[in-house]
A and B are shown apart, each in its own frame.
Chain A
Amino acid sequence: DGGITQSPKYLFRKEGQNVTLSCEQNLNHDAMYWYRQDPGQGLRLIYYSQIVNDFQKGDIAEGYSVSREKKESFPLTVTSAQKNPTAFYLCASSIGTLAKNIQYFGAGTRLSVL
């Protein structure tokens, strides 16, 4: 079964706590992305990675961190510095070519603050 797997589906964070969201893909894609979605809004890019051991900030990177140690994995850490973390988090991947950039998405993780 190929695709993008995000876990957990639901996550709760206590104040001052860091939490890590998992994203794994078996599509052999080079590029991976993290987006945040708030109710009634579009997707906003947090971080993206075009290749292993390299990543760039997106439009709303403050309060988040990522790593890309393996091609298939791109975990996102929501740090205590992110004061409004409640949102739906989506991970995506793409082949990473310049000619075509369909991004395929996981099922998402819904993060709430206790």
Chain B
Amino acid sequence: GESVGLHLPTLSVQEGDNSIINCAYSNSASDYFIWYKQESGKGPQFIIDIRSNMDKRQGQRVTVLLNKTVKHLSLQIAATQPGDSAVYFCAENTGGGNKLTFGTGTQLKVEL
């Protein structure tokens, strides 16, 4: 049988609505953050990144907000589409170097 794993937080949105996915990070020394999208059975795909000297960065249909005071990161997706359905992970990099620490992820479900 299938092994029991943790249940991911799930966000359900209607097609065309805006989505906001949140992430709390743990290390106040983290200076670089990345959002990844992972579709079922595939590897994570880079979406957008932000450095700690910024509090907002925009991409195509996506915006990342960083609040260092409360160690919180959010990903906003405008006009959510069915193809946006996936698990979204935030990752933090502490003090340079190459190591990233990943969050547990949020499942985004887009309803037609």
Residues of A within 8 A of B (CB): 4, 6, 31, 33, 35, 38-45, 48, 50, 58, 86, 90, 92, 94, 96, 98-108, 110
Taken together as a complex, chains A and B put the C-alpha atoms of A86 and B5 apart, in Å, by 13
List the A side residues contacting B93 at CB < 8 Å. Answer: 101
Also in contact, A108 and B42, with CB within 8 A (given A96-B98, A101-B93, A102-B49): yes
B5 contacts A50, C-beta separation under 8 Å = no
B42 contacts A39, C-beta separation under 8 Å = no
Taken together as a complex, chains A and B put the C-alpha atoms of A110 and B91 apart, in Å, by 22
List the A side residues contacting B44 at CB < 8 Å. Answer: 43, 90, 105
A42 contacts B3, C-beta separation under 8 Å = no
Tell me whether B6 is interfacial, beta carbon within 8 Å: yes
B5 contacts A108, C-beta separation under 8 Å = no
List the A side residues contacting B42 at CB < 8 Å. Answer: 107-108
A-B contact pairs, 28 of them (CB 8 A): A6-B43, A39-B2, A39-B3, A40-B8, A40-B104, A41-B6, A41-B105, A42-B103, A42-B104, A42-B105, A43-B44, A43-B102, A44-B102, A45-B99, A45-B100, A48-B99, A58-B99, A86-B3, A90-B44, A94-B98, A98-B96, A99-B96, A100-B49, A101-B34, A102-B34, A105-B44, A106-B43, A107-B42
The minimal Cβ–Cβ distance linking A57 to chain B, given in whole angstroms, is: 11
Taken together as a complex, chains A and B put the C-alpha atoms of A38 and B105 apart, in Å, by 12
Closest to B97 in A: A98
Among A6, A31, A101, find the residue whose CB has the most chain B CB atoms closer than 10 A: A101
B5 contacts A40, C-beta separation under 8 Å = yes
The minimal Cβ–Cβ distance linking A66 to chain B, given in whole angstroms, is: 15
Closest to B107 in A: A40
Taken together as a complex, chains A and B put the C-alpha atoms of A43 and B103 apart, in Å, by 8
